[in-house]
Amino acid sequence: MTLTITATIIPGQGDAAKNHRVLIPRIAARFPELIKCSEYGTINLQLDQPFDRSHADFWTPQIPWIPVRMSGEKTGPRPEAFGFIRIKFECPLGGPQYAAWIILPEGASLTYHDDAAEIIASEFISGVAYEARCAIHLDHTPALPAPPWFGEIYGKSLARAGT
């Protein structure tokens, strides 16, 4: 059974587009499926219904990396773990479906909102535009629970997400 959640594309902070060229190779060293996901940044979504992200298909350990730019933060060494949930991303609604991932950066506030998601893909998706309607499709149940320490160094917790 496939879970489908419709959504609207919303603006992000622009950090992913600036930082993925340095971050994705570090993640791909542990999770090679992401090696081609560094060119396009992420797509931020306002979901029409809540989505549980307490389980994923893959979790990294904390990876030390140095951001090129982070909105509102001093750049410098940053330890951060990431979760990934495999999805199909439909954009626009009724349009093609693309292999993609919901990315769960440990230090990003969007990770802890159950009514939002951040998407990453290894190809350019031409239908992406602010306010465009789209959907995520999940055809499996992610099996790996979030590490119990995930988010703690940033004062966040998936156990408290959406509250």
Cα–Cα distance between 95 and 137 in angstroms, integer? 13
Q: Residue 104: CA atoms inside 13 Å, Cβ hemisphere, count?
A: 31
The pTM of this model reads: 0.91
pLDDT of residue 15: 73
Q: For 133-156, what is each residue's pLDDT tens digit? A: 999 999 999 999 999 999 999 999
Q: For 50-81, what is each residue's pLDDT tens digit? A: 999 999 999 999 999 888 766 555 566 889 99
pLDDT of residue 90: 97
CATH fold of the domain at 3-154: Elongation Factor Tu (Ef-tu); domain 3 (2.40.30)
